[in-house]
Amino acid sequence: MMKHIASLIKSGAITFLKKEYLYLGLFCAAFSILVYFTAEVNNYPYTTFAFLIGAVTSMICGYIGMLIAVHTNWRTTYACNLSIDDGFHVAFKGGQVLGFALVGIALLVLHVLISIYARMFLPETYANKEEAIHLHRQLFECIAGYGLGGSTVALFGRVGGGIYTKAADVGADLAGKVCEGLEEDSPKNPGTIADNVGDNVGDIAGMGADLFGSLAEATCACLVVSAVSEDILLTPDAMFYPLIISAIGIFASFVSQFLAKIGPVNKSNVENRLKL
């Protein structure tokens, strides 16, 4: 029964996301034309390409998050039936997948994009100092399109999913609680399935895209601001400082997640475990 309800939620969430990403893809394609005519330099679509890569990566991150969530949800319910400790560990594993995959993919794609653009954008030799600085600044301004793409998808993912989940929640409550006198989230209420689908697409896929957007935007903004300084341009390791900060964050998270697994988890200490 549990598996049956989980499969209904999974198929509903996948259907919603496919439809949402279809329209979002069309919007991004149209918006990329605007980006091309307003933000490009030398008529090469560097910013547009970075924008599209950011949008696609954001969609992938949201989709991975949603898939692993619907995959983990019912396993957590099952594990909680055995003990709170088991349920905590299953849920924690599910959360780790989205967190680690999102940051890893975001940084990897951004770094590869910078490396490719550096090869394509920058010449072997420069005519003078001003040209060299100007080209380096333009390079990182083009990279900023990556953050814009991520934020665009995050905006629609968060808002679209949020409206859907609220509509499903209110609909389920009206039909189930008010008309039929059922309890909140009662499995007898078909609207509960829609409510759970909304929770997955809004709070997980939307939040995943939102997290990606924040990370990509903050990192790209730092790169653009850093490129203003000649001193920083002369020391590329300093240019990559924002990316290194995120990379160190991955290592810190990797080490600290083991702390949450030390000892059994019960009702009294579950909150403190998560705060670790």
Partner 1 sequence: MTNQLSESTQFMQKTWTDAILYIMCFLSIGWALVQTVLINRIPMSPDKVKVNIISKSELVIKGSDQEQLSQNLNEEIP
- Smallest distance from partner 1 to CB 161, Å: 22
CB 113 within 8 A of CB 240: no
Q: Should residue 243 be labelled a site residue for partner 1 when binding is judged by CB under 8 A?
A: yes
Considering only 39, 79, 113, 168, the residue that binds partner 1 (CB under 8 A) is: 79
One of 81, 256, 266, 269 touching partner 1 (CB under 8 A) = 81
Give the SS3 label for residue 41. Answer: strand
Task: Answer positive or negative: Cα dihedral of 66, 67, 69, 70.
Answer: positive
| 168 in Cβ contact with 55 (< 8 Å) | no
Q: Is 229 in the site for partner 1 (CB under 8 A)?
A: no
* Candidate list 29, 254, 272, 274; residue touching partner 1; CB under 8 A: 254
Which of these segments, 14-22, 203-211, 239-247, 267-275, binds partner 1 (CB under 8 A)? 239-247
Binders of partner 1 in range 84-113 (CB under 8 A) = 90, 93-94, 96-101, 103-105, 107-108, 111
126 sits near partner 1 (criterion: CB under 8 A): yes
Residue 218 binding partner 1, by CB under 8 A: no
**Binder among 179, 221, 225, 276 for partner 1 (CB under 8 A):** 179
How many binding residues for partner 1 (CB under 8 A)?
A: 59
DSSP H helix total and E strand total for the chain? 10, 0
Q: Give min distance, CB of 75 to partner 1, in A.
A: 5
- For 52-97, the DSSP string reads HHHHHHHHHHHHHHHHHHHHHHHHHHHHHHH-HHHHHHHHHHHHHH
Return the residue matching tokens 């957590």: 76
Enclosing H/E stretch for 214: helix 206-226
Using alpha carbons, select from 31, 97, 35, 101 the residue that is nearest to residue 70. Answer: 97
Which residues, in sequence order, are CB contacts of 139 under 8 Å at separation 6+? 114, 117, 118, 121, 122, 227
Residue 259 to residue 257: CA distance in whole angstroms: 5
Q: Nearer Cβ to partner 1, position 19 or 71?
A: 71
| d(C-alpha 80, C-alpha 84), whole Å | 5
Contact, 201 vs 11, CB < 8 A? no
Looking at the chain, how many residues does it have? 276
168 binds partner 1 (CB under 8 A): no
Binding mask 50-69 for partner 1 (x = CB under 8 A): ------------------x-
Q: Which is nearer to partner 1, 4 or 275 (CB)?
A: 4
Instruction: State the residues that interact with partner 1 by CB under 8 A.
Output: 1-4, 68, 71-72, 75, 78-79, 81-82, 90, 93-94, 96-101, 103-105, 107-108, 111, 114-115, 118-119, 122, 124-126, 128-129, 132-133, 136, 175, 179-180, 187-188, 233-237, 239-240, 243-244, 247-248, 250-251, 254
